[in-house]
Each structure stands twice: as structure tokens, then as C-alpha cells.
A and B are shown apart, each in its own frame.
Chain A
Amino acid sequence: MVRSGTLILSVAARLLMPLQLLFSVFLLLRGHDEPGGGFIAGLVAAGAFALYMFAYGTQATRAMLRVAPQDLIGMGLFLGVASTLPAWWHGQPFMTAQWWTIPLIGFTFSTPLIFDIGVYLVVLGSVLTAVVGLMDGGRDDG
């Protein structure tokens, strides 16, 4: 229904999209200490894909995504649930946060981060499901 837009939109989308996606990852990773987090980052990423979709249509966007938006939801839910389990190993109650620091680079990896990535994917997948669905009228033959 919405076909490729104007030249300005096409070029802008192509340039902006990597930046937006990068920014969304940045928001996701810094979320624990500064404003940001999985929900916001997911929305930013969804915005990036939506912009691309307006410029190039759903076919191209699907091709770029490689996975169906619904699958993103599934992966996100899986990560969210999986992040609750490591606490079992330490005999702690389900969902207790676990923290591991990777020695050399000093990066802290944790179950809340996995959880946040799950939230990110669910938000991204849900918005894209709705946007893609509305744009091609729910046809899944893209």
C-alpha cells in the first residue's frame, strides 16, 4: 500500500537507519545506569525499521530483517524466561539476579541484562508485527 517514498526519504532512511539501530543498542546497554533500557531501545529500533519501511516498502524490510517479526517476539520471551533460571544453579530462588564480570575488559554481564535484551526483542517484534501487518494488510507472503 505504501510504496517507496521520495528521494530525500529514501536516502535519509538508508543513512539514518544504522545510526538509529546503533543508538538503540547504546540505549539498551547503558540502560542500567543512565536513561535507557530495553523498552526504550526496542521502540527506537522499531522506529528505525518503520522509517525504512516507509521508504522501501515491507518486502525490502522483511528481507533485511531475515526473521519474521513474530519470531523476534518468541526469542524475546525465551530470553526473558531463560534469564530467570540461572539462579537455580546457586540454589537461590527463581529470578534472583546473577552478575558475572568478564575479567579483562571489565564488562559486567548479568541476568537483568539478558532479561532486558528479551524485553527489547519483544517490544521490537510486537511493534513490527503490527506495522508490517498493517502495511501489507497482514499478508505473510513477503
Chain B
Amino acid sequence: MQLAVLGGFVLAAFAPLLHRWFGDRAGLVMALLPAALSLWLFAQLPAVVGGEVLVFEQAWVPGLDIELTFLLDGLALLFALLISVIGVFVLVYSSAYLKGHPDLARFHVVLVAFMMSMLGLVLADNLVALFVFWELTSITSYLLIGFNHTDPEARKSASQGLFVTVAGGLALMAGLVMLAVVGESWSLQTLVAQGDTLRAHPLYLPILLCLLAGAFTKSAQFPFHFWLPNAMAAPTPVSAYLHSATMVKAGIYLLARMQPGMGGTEAWVTLLSLFGAVTMVTGAFLALRHTGIKSLLAYSTIMALGTLTMLLGIGTEEAMIAFGTFLLAHSLYKGALFLVAGILDHETGTKDISAMGGLRRVMPVSATCAGVAALSLGGVIPLFGFTAKELMFTSVLHAERFTVLLPALSLAAAVMTLAAAAIVALRPFFGNRREMPRAPHEGPPEMLAGPLVMAGLSLLLGLMPGLASGLVGATASSVNGAPLPASLSLWHGVNLPLGLSLVSLVLGLLIFRYWDYWRIWMRSLEPLFARGPEMGYFKIMDLIVTISVWQTRMLQNGYIRNYLVMTLMVLVGLTGYTLWSRHGLAFSFALDVRFHEALVAGLMVAGAVTACIMRLRLAAVASVGVMGFCIALTFVIFSAPDLGITQLLIETLTVILLILVLFRLPRFASLSTTLERVRDLVVAGATGLLMTLLILTVLDERLFPSIADYMIANSQPEGHGHNIVNVILVDFRALDTLGEVFVLALAAIGVYAMLSFHVDEYDARRQPERKEPRDG
């Protein structure tokens, strides 16, 4: 299981190669992986429905309790199935949608990487692993929203999505750490099982708020909903996949996962029900403001996310079954609708619904899919969305708190959603044929496959909801924390939920009929929308920029001498204070110096002094070099050949680099005043003094046994090497080395970028001069 997910990342890395081999069909080849995963997941279905929890153990960093153990229960299985099945269709779809796009390979790299991150997120049992995958989905989402990177709007939307979700991610991290501390475990399974301890703990509320901040930003709950419609700048398959069926549900997944461990308290019920309900209504209401088909669908996704949160908040057994049903139903119909929206955009050249019309003759298959999926969105009998909506109404009516508010808001949302569904299904396909930027015709089979299957499933599960009972029941059991069988059926008899459905159908169609007037009415509310939460986002971003400009001017003014003074003084201050307060200034050491040692030390001092008083830059560099070589000598004297060689080589290369830099510097001149020189002397002297005292202290005090003994004893048996330094570098402490290597690489890239940048500027300034004739 782990190998499948990690292998997926490798596959993502090889996407460019596959594109070279298979051309535009590479997407189809890559779809084989999620297809195989889906089949495997389906094979696990009976066991999971039977109440089993499959655990796939894998150590990662056992020393820190970090595991890559995967957990497959009902909730994880439902999500994993949605991710891999819809993933197959999206990969197939995108190879037609973006056919011939020069960056298609890059698109597939990120899309497959996202798919695997999302799978890891829903399967991970360890909090750290969960968090890593969580952040990976944010990053891949960022790259996909900004896929059209030449478009400034796309870039802006991408960074907005990233900032909002990553800010939430930080809060989530804090919440997860607190959770692990309180529950004394990093395993979700263990944590969720000790619900009573968690709920009684004084840190419960802080943990809850942090988790909610993470989940609400990720799942676009009010007031963080604004990033989701902007994320529609992404190519349509991405919107269908990330921003409707999978990634935005990660927050919902987290809440559902935590429900048995943390749910049911006053705070949980209040916060989730209210935020969920408000999000639901906001999404449904704002959807009707837009004529862009993707914006409209995005807002209706917000509505669905709000509904799911609200159902988790209500937390009764009915609500959990409704949660599972609604989740499945929404992913199916919304995925289908988005993909049809992509076909419309692809074939007509416009995203504006009000510009489309009469397309049912030329695009009969798309029209049928859209019709079926939209009926499911609107919750019309006999689609699966109807079953979900009935269950939702039932749970809302039986909620223990907010018994008036929740049903009222749900009804309002249902009415407006039905209107939105009617707009999406009827406007583009019926009515009079209009002029469109491109002559429309039916989409290619790769693009129709996804909508057909998903709309087909919406209809099939609607007619025979019993087919989904097992999966939904298993999901609800995971959310419930105890077995909770579900038996779904289409017809519940004539009751209040059915009445509410009928009311919403009638009112929704009325709104659809008068949609144009409705939009005019909404336009008068424009000033209100302009002051929405997005305004707050922009204010905060401006504030951050202002502060960072101010602090950069203060601390990083571009003069290396100021950086040095600042760094060294902080070092002297903090280390010196610790040294003085912890240790005092008493030292005892035996002065046992041999002649050659004294000679090397003397040379070093001479080199340092010469470097300070030299008037020629080259000579100063050479004097510094003398010091470096003396240090290398010291290493050799004290039998550390590796360090000696390294120091020697570094010294040589430093001289080479310095000489190359010196070519570019202006003439060496004395620019500093006497006062500044005195300041430099003080700083340098203080640093030197501190280092001396520090070394003396180290010699003086041994607080704990040296780790060298361990390294010496284990280097050969464990690391198969006699060179202890190297064994430490590449085996015992390889993680540190890996980090250092990355730092080195980043520094090199920084140098490269800085030099390239500088030369461009330099050339730009020199351009006119170059044209003049050189010889004269």
C-alpha cells in the first residue's frame, strides 16, 4: 500500500519521460496506476464493510515515533475510492482537454503528485505523516491553480489559495502537536479511541480551535470561503478533482476522523453546526450571483462543504449516515458537472452561461450527463442526490440544538441550490441557439467518459440506493466510532422531509424562472460583497508587506558590515550571557605547548594582523589564506586528517572565489571613519574573546560523556567503515548531511540567481555604450 503511494510519486517524476514516449496518450498510461488502485480498493470493500480495519504498518523515523502506517477503514476507503476513481477519469479527461498544451507533462507531474498526497492524507494513521501529506496537497494545489502562470490573475489566485490553506495548516500543526501531547500518542487510531480523556482535558478547546482553523481554511468554510471560487483559475479538470471532489474535502475528512475522539461537546456542536450552516447558505446564495459556469459550481461546492460540516456538527447517528451519503453523492454529481463545464468551455470557447443556449442538439451526450448530474445536485427524485437530501433534512429536523435555525437555513440553501442546478442543466442546452466563439460540437470520448460514468452512478445509486448502503454504513461507522449499519432507500413515504423537498423544488424553479431579475436585485447588494472576508484577506496581506518592508530596511540594509555586526553582537550577547551566568569565568588548564604548536599559532596571529593592516586587497586575501592553512595544519597536528584536507581544499577554493570577486570590486579605499573602525575593533575583539572563553570552558567542563566513544565502537560493526568521520557523515548522521547538502545547493542556486540578475541589469545599463565603435 505504501509502495503504491510512494511509487505514485516516482511515476509523477517520470511523467515528462512518459510524455516523450507516448506523446499525448501519456495521461492514459498514467491513469493505469489509479485504475489499479481502484480495483484493489474495491477488492477490500467486503472486508471493510464487514467492520474490519486494515492496518498497513511501516516505520519511517521510529526514533521520533513517526510512522508511515496506513489505515483503511470505511471513511478512508470512501475517500480513497473517490480519489482513485475520479483520478482515473480526470487523467484521461485532461489528456484531451489540454491536448497539445506545451506544459501538459508538467501538469501531469503535479496532478499525479497531488493524487498521491491526497491518498496519503486520507490513509495516514500518524499525525506527522497526515500533516506532511496535508501540506503537500496545499502545495500541489497551488501549482495547479497557477498552471497558466503567464496569467497574473491565476498567479494571484494561486498564492491566495496557498496563503489561506497554509496559514490554516500552521494552526493545524499546533493543534496536532497539542493533541499528541494530550493523548500521548501520534497514532490517530489510539487518539480517537480515548475520546473521554481528550474531551475532559483543559487543552481541549485550544486543540479544537486549531484543528477547526486548519479544516475550515482547507474546506473553504465561511469566512475563508473566498479562495475557492478564485481557485477556478485552474484548468477545469483540476477544478473538478481538487476543488470539488477531493482536496477541499480534506478538512471535512479531518473533522470526520476526529469526530469519535473530539465530537459531541457543546463547543463542537455549536461551532460546526453554525459555521457549516452559514457556509451552506452563503455558498448557495452567492452561486446565483454568477454567470460563469465554473464560479457557479464553485459556490455550490461551498454550499456542499458547509452542509457536510453542519452534519458533523449535529453528530447524531442519522446525521452520520447522511454525511456519508451526501459526501458520495456530491463527489459524483459535482465531478460530472465540472467535467461537462470543461467540455462546454472547450467546445464553445466561453465560460459564460448566459452566452450559451440550445446546445442539446449538437452535444446530446453532454446535455444528458449535465441534466442527470444537475438533477442530483438539485436533489430531485430519483437521483442519488435526492436520497442524500432527504437524509440531510431528516437529520436537521431531528437535531438536538438549533432546532429552528438549521432547518430554515437548510431549506433556503436547498431552494437556491435547486435554482443553480436548473441554471446549469437547462440554460446552456435548451432555449435558442446563440452565437458562440467557437462552432460547438460534442466532446471527444476521453472527455465524455468521466461525466457519463459519474452521472450514470448518480442515477444507478439513486434508483438502487441499497448498493451504496455498505460503503456508506462503513463510513458512518468510522465517523461514529462504533458500528452503525445503514440501509438507504429511495422512498421514505410521505413525511416532512419530502414536503421540504417539494417546497424547495417549487421555489427553486421560481428563482430559475426569474433568475435575470434575481441577478439585478443581487447587483444592488454589490457594496456588501465588496466588504466581505476577502477584503480582510487583502488588508492582512498589505499589512504583512508593510511590516516586512520596514523590518528589511531596519535589519537587511544591504551592507555586509552591518549584517556582520548584528550577527556577531547577538552571538556575543546571548552566548556570553549564558556562559557568564551558568559557568562564571574560572578556568583551569595546563599550559603544555610544544614548539611547533606555538609556531603555527604565531603564524596565525601574524596572518590576522597583516590582513587587518594591509592596504592591498590581494595581500589581505593572502594573509587570510595563511590563517586558513594554519588551521589545516592544526588539524593535521592533532591527527584529524579529514578535517585537515577539507580545510585545505576549502581554503584553496575560497582564494579562487575571492580573487574572482575582487575583479569586480572598485578600488580598495578607506571609507570608514575612525569611529567606525573602533566599533569594528570592539566587535571583532569581543567575538574573539568569547570564542576563546568558550573553548576554555568546553575543555574545563564535561557535562556528559563524549559521543565519540559510541561512534568509535560502532563505526566498523554498524557502518562497515574504518573512517569514523565519513561513517558519521554518510550513515549515522546522514539526515543532517542531507540537510546540509540541500542548504549548499540552495546557496549555489542563490549565487547563480544573484549573478544572473545582476548581469542583466548591468547589460541593460551598458547597452547604449556597446553600440559605439570600439576602435578609434
Which residues of A are interface residues toward B (Cβ below 8 A)?
Answer: 1-2, 31-40, 43-44, 46-47, 50, 69-70, 73, 76-77, 80-81, 84-85, 88, 91-95, 97, 99, 108, 110, 112-113, 115-116, 118-119, 122-123, 125-127, 129-131, 133-135, 137-140
Contact = CB atoms under 8 A, between A and B. Distances in A.
A42 B688 CA distance: 31
Contacts of A36: 642, 645, 723, 726
Given A32-B720, A97-B720, 13 more contacts: A33-B723, A35-B641, A37-B730, A40-B645, A43-B650, A70-B748, A84-B734, A112-B719, A115-B730, A119-B730, A134-B755, A135-B660, A138-B757
Given A37-B723, A97-B731, A119 B741 contact: yes
Contact of B656 (A50, A95, A140): A50
Interface stretch (B26-34, B56-64, B233-241, B482-490): B56-64
**Complex A-B, nearest 7 residue pairs according to Cβ-Cβ distance, in ascending order:** A138-B755, A126-B748, A32-B721, A43-B649, A134-B660, A35-B641, A112-B730
B61 A94 contact: yes
Nearest to A92: B59
Contacts of A93: 59-62
B628 to A, nearest CB: 13
B431 to A, nearest CB: 55
Contacts of A2: 660, 663
A123 B660 contact: no
B748 A130 contact: yes
A138 B649 contact: no
A110 B731 CA distance: 10
B723 A34 contact: yes
B637 to A, nearest CB: 15
A118 B722 CA distance: 21
Interface string B272-314: 0000000000000000000000000000000000000000000
A80 B741 contact: yes
A33 B744 contact: no
Nearest to B657: A130
A70 B641 CA distance: 30
A31 B660 contact: no
Interface in B656-700: 656-657, 660-661, 663-664
A140 B756 contact: yes
B645 A35 contact: yes
B583 interface: no
7 contacts: A35-B723, A37-B730, A77-B745, A84-B738, A92-B59, A133-B752, A140-B756
A118 B744 CA distance: 12
Interface in B724-751: 725-727, 729-731, 734-735, 737-738, 741-742, 744-745, 747-749, 751
Contacts of B756: 133, 138-140
B362 interface: no
Contacts of B62: 93
Contact of B748 (A73, A81, A97, A139): A73
A8 B663 CA distance: 23
Contacts of B752: 70, 129-130, 133, 138
A129 B751 contact: yes
Contacts of A73: 745, 748-749
Interface in B453-501: none
A41 to B, nearest CB: 10
B653 interface: yes
B6 A108 contact: no
A3 B754 CA distance: 23
A122 B657 contact: no
Identify which of B58, B68, B660 gathers the most chain A CB atoms within 10 Å of its CB: B660
Interface residues of B, number: 54
Contacts of A38: 729-730
A33 B630 CA distance: 26
Interface of B: 2-3, 6, 58-62, 68, 641-642, 645-646, 649-650, 652-653, 656-657, 660-661, 663-664, 719-723, 725-727, 729-731, 734-735, 737-738, 741-742, 744-745, 747-749, 751-752, 754-759, 762
Contacts of A81: 738
Contact of A137 (B649, B720, B749, B759): B759
B642 A122 contact: no
B748 to A, nearest CB: 4
A129 B748 contact: yes
The winner among A93, A113, A140 for most chain B CB atoms within 10 A is A93
A134 B646 CA distance: 23
A131 B657 contact: yes
A122 B745 contact: yes
A62 to B, nearest CB: 14
Contacts of A37: 642, 723, 725-726, 729-730
A118 B741 contact: yes
Contacts of A125: 745, 748
Contacts of A50: 653, 656
A78 to B, nearest CB: 9
A44 to B, nearest CB: 6
Contacts of B754: 138
Contact of A112 (B649, B731, B735): B731
A118 B742 CA distance: 11
B547 to A, nearest CB: 32
A36 B726 CA distance: 8
A126 B646 contact: no
Given A77-B741, A81-B738, A94-B60, A32 B726 contact: yes
A137 B653 contact: no
A94 B730 CA distance: 14
Contact of A47 (B68, B649, B723): B649
A115 B734 contact: yes
B653 A47 contact: yes
Could you say which of B2, B6, B645, B758 has the most chain A C-beta atoms within 10 Å of its C-beta?
B645
Contacts of B650: 43
Contacts of B664: 134, 137
A50 B741 CA distance: 21
Contacts of B3: 88
B297 to A, nearest CB: 39
